[in-house]
């Protein structure tokens, strides 16, 4: 979503990039077994680096090319990454939480509800990230520049904003936040090659909310999550992976630009 907002390129390798961060954590844990915090920080930092490197070696050439071509490149990247990850880390399921020697305690929330520590941490992290990104886009020089590039790259570059630097920053931020999400999910529910589906579910959430809108992403993911939980409860747990996409299709029929998107954004894609 971040990348889309700045460069209008839908990054369809997002799920794979999330997974990559989690796998990196696994490897770092085995390498520096005695420093769980170091392993976590290293994995987060490396996922940021991955974004930068990907932009510089792969997506940089796509700047100024057709958006659809760049989107296709991200699909190819996703397939490639998945292959590499299966080869590198095999398809077996990992439990990084155990490897780190931590326990995922269930915490009572009252009213008979419980939540795992990691799940709570995930929610906390999401809130933190949301506020952080919001402040970044709203109040910092680079954030305003990124929004300017997102609206009109030509004018932005005529105003002296270096497009490559801005896009690289967007990729780094996106893989950083995605990587964090991937790590947290792996900590909570283990890691195997199906995790990319979770990343894929982010697209219905983003599309329902309106692409490129931070507020939209939050509301969209709540709607999608609520629909999923209701479906698990009242229909069948097996349908849960399908529900987000059903919501997406319904939404696209009613209001194709999403809740918070603008009509004109649709035309550009």
Partner 1 sequence: MNAAAPLLRLEQVEVVYQKVITAVHGVSLEVPAGQIVVLLGANGAGKTTTLRAVTGFLGSDDARVTDGKIWFEAHAIENCPPHTVAARGIALVPERRKVFETLTVLENLQAAVPSGIRGRAARRERIDQVFDQFPRLAPARGRLAGYLSGGERQMLAMGSALIGAPRLLLVDEMSLGLAPRIVEELLERLVALKKALGLTVLLVEQSAHLALEVADYGYIMESGRVVLDGTAERLRGHGDVQEFYLGMGGGPDRRSYRDVKQYRRSRRWFG
If one counts every other C-beta atom within 10 angstroms of the C-beta of residue 236, the result is 9
The token pair at 150 is: 């997102």
Give phi and psi for 140, each to the nearest 5: -95, 155
User: Minimum distance between the CB of residue 215 and partner 1, rounded to whole angstroms?
Assistant: 14
Within 60-79, which residues bind partner 1 (CB under 8 A)? 63-65
The token pair at 121 is: 């941490």
Return d(Cα 209, Cα 81) in angstroms, integer: 28
| Three-state DSSP state, 213 | coil
User: Minimum distance between the CB of residue 217 and partner 1, rounded to whole angstroms?
Assistant: 17
Residue count at the site for partner 1 (CB under 8 A)?
21
User: Minimum distance between the CB of residue 254 and partner 1, rounded to whole angstroms?
Assistant: 24
Q: Which residue has the tokens 């283990």?
A: 190
The one segment of 58-66, 87-95, 109-117, 234-242 that binds partner 1 by CB under 8 A: 58-66
User: Minimum distance between the CB of residue 2 and partner 1, rounded to whole angstroms?
Assistant: 16
Return d(Cα 23, Cα 110) in angstroms, integer: 35
Indicate the residue among 78 and 150 with the shorter CB distance to partner 1. Answer: 150
Indicate the residue among 106 and 162 with the shorter CB distance to partner 1. Answer: 162
Indicate the residue among 1 and 44 with the shorter CB distance to partner 1. Answer: 1
Indicate the residue among 63 and 117 with the shorter CB distance to partner 1. Answer: 63
215 binds partner 1 (CB under 8 A): no
Within 105-164, which residues bind partner 1 (CB under 8 A)? 141, 144-145, 147-148, 151-163
Indicate the residue among 86 and 155 with the shorter CB distance to partner 1. Answer: 155
Cα 257 from chain centroid?
20
User: Minimum distance between the CB of residue 201 and partner 1, rounded to whole angstroms?
Assistant: 28
User: Minimum distance between the CB of residue 139 and partner 1, rounded to whole angstroms?
Assistant: 10
H/E stretch holding 106 reads: strand 106-110
Return d(Cα 68, Cα 83) in angstroms, integer: 23
Indicate the residue among 161 and 198 with the shorter CB distance to partner 1. Answer: 161
Indicate the residue among 10 and 40 with the shorter CB distance to partner 1. Answer: 10
Give the angle subtended at the CA of 82 by the CAs of 129 and 2, to the nearest 5°.
30
User: Minimum distance between the CB of residue 171 and partner 1, rounded to whole angstroms?
Assistant: 18
Return d(Cα 20, Cα 71) in angstroms, integer: 19
How many angstroms separate the Cα of 138 from the Cα of each of 102, 132, 143, 231, 252?
A: 37, 10, 6, 37, 29
User: Minimum distance between the CB of residue 161 and partner 1, rounded to whole angstroms?
Assistant: 6
DSSP 8-state symbol, 12: T
Going 253 to 259 to 265 to 269, the CA torsion angle's sign is negative
Indicate the residue among 65 and 103 with the shorter CB distance to partner 1. Answer: 65
Name the site residues for partner 1 (rule: CB under 8 A): 63-65, 141, 144-145, 147-148, 151-163
């Amino acid at each position: 979503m971040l990348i889309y907002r700045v460069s209008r390129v839908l990054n369809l390798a997002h799920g794979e990039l999330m997974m990559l961060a989690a796998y990196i954590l696994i490897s770092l844990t085995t390498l520096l077994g005695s420093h769980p915090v170091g392993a976590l920080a290293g994995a987060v930092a490396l996922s940021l680096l991955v974004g930068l490197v990907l932009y510089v070696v792969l997506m940089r050439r796509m700047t100024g090319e057709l958006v659809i071509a760049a989107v296709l490149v991200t699909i190819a990247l996703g397939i490639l990454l998945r292959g590499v990850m299966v080869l590198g880390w095999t398809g077996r399921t990992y439990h990084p939480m155990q490897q780190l020697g931590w326990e995922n305690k269930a915490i009572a929330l009252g009213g008979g509800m419980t939540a795992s520590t990691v799940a709570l941490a995930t929610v906390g992290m999401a809130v933190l990230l949301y506020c952080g990104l919001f402040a970044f886009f709203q109040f910092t020089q680079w954030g305003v520049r990124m929004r300017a590039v997102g609206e009109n790259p030509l004018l932005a570059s005529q105003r002296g904003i270096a497009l490559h630097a801005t896009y690289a920053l967007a990729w780094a931020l996106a893989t950083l936040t995605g990587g964090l999400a991937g790590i947290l999910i792996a900590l909570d529910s283990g890691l195997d090659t199906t995790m990319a589906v979770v990343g894929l579910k982010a697209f219905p959430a983003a599309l329902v909310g309106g692409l490129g809108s931070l507020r939209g992403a939050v509301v969209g993911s709540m709607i999608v999550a609520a629909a999923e939980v209701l479906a698990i409860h009242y229909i069948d747990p097996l349908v849960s992976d399908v529900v987000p996409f059903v919501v997406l299709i319904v939404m696209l029929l009613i209001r194709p630009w999403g809740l918070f998107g603008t009509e004109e954004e649709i035309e550009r894609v």
